[in-house]
Amino acid sequence: MRYREAAVTITDDIAWAAVMRRDRTYDGRFVTGVLTTGIYCRPSCAARHPDRGNVRFFTDCAAARAAGLRACKRCLPDDVGRDEAAVLAAIDEIRNAQDVPSLAVLAELTGYSPTHFQRIFKRAIGLSPASYARALREERARNSLSAGESVTGAIYEAGYGSASRFYEDTKGRLGMTASAWANGGAGVTINWAVVETSMGPMLVAATQKGVCRLSFGEDESELAHRFPKAELVEGGDAFAKLLAEVVASVEAPGDFSHIPLDVKGTAFQEACWDALRAIPPGETRTYSEIAAAAGNAKAVRAAGSANAKNNVAVLIPCHRVVRKGGDLGGYAYGPDIKRELLKRERR
């Protein structure tokens, strides 16, 4: 079997590896036919793995049935389409409802029990329905604030019942206050420095919460463009310690989880960035694998976009993403820096 979906070619080897991992992100993308038993299963089926020689892969359930196979009664592969329709219906309800619908309401809407629906929703999206609704409201508030709306108007327009609920939900997540975010960093102090590294000049900038920008070949003008109303302070005693940790991590890249960040994105973008930070040093992933880890295996292009919008190079290691087949692919700061970072991590 060899076919294309979402710009990713699924070969028999990829399909078999997904089956051996019982990878739920491949459910709905193909089914596994077991010729000796005459059944077809989801890739994630919990039943004992068949011998590789007894397996044939099919693009969908209809193709498997046409070959004379019947659906597995344990993993119920024909229900994948129903699950997907239920998740889409719930997303539509969450997006259009004035108040966040409860799990019980969503379960009744889709015909599942609350526990089962929560499980399939989280499997498909990577978040529970409540977390998805919360992330959606935060995203709407950010977009409104970035567009210049008043803080109060943006909060209520996003669906929050009160300003206090907004600040409670976003505490520690927005980094800057809502007013500062709406006004280009007004009232926020950003310490910065340009330091020489073995890979060229590197800009590092941080708020009190953490690093908000790390790039190569940029200077203060880039920060002024991103945060035109912030107070930009070069250096600083407290910043010096963080800067030293960042430089050390770039010169000897590895585990960066101890370095605090202050980054903003959509729920899916932030999930992609979390997936990037979860890649062990010395290893790489493809865009399709990042999309799957972020909760939506079909959103390969969106994963690529999230990679491109990463404001903190190295610490959010987008250099660890390569193309299918191992080709380096693109990098905002050029292939030489990407190649060198990967080389150092593999030592």
**CA distance linking residue 13 with residue 1, whole number of Å:** 9
Question: Alpha helix locations (H) across the chain?
Answer: 12-21, 61-66, 80-96, 103-110, 114-125, 129-146, 151-157, 163-170, 178-182, 220-226, 237-251, 267-277, 287-293, 300-308, 335-345
Q: Is 45 a catalytic residue?
A: no
Structure tokens at 4: 């294309």
- Give, for 3, the enclosing helix (H) or strand (E): strand 2-5
**CA distance linking residue 87 with residue 120, whole number of Å:** 8
Q: Pick the catalytic residue: 41, 45, 61, 272? A: 41
Q: Quick one: which of 292, 296, 258, 295 has its CA closest to 277?
A: 258
First to last CA, the chain: 37
Q: Is 318 a catalytic residue?
A: yes
Structure tokens at 77: 């592969």
**CA distance linking residue 171 with residue 339, whole number of Å:** 38
Contact 332, 308 (CB under 8 A): yes
Residue type (1 letter), 106: L
> How many CB atoms are closer than 10 A to CB 327?
7
Q: Pick the catalytic residue: 45, 61, 272, 318? A: 318
Q: Quick one: which of 14, 20, 11, 13 has its CA closest to 49?
A: 20
**CA distance linking residue 87 with residue 242, whole number of Å:** 43
Nearest-10 Cα torsion for 162, 165, 167, 172: -160
Residue reference for tokens 């020689």: 53
What residues act catalytically? 41, 318
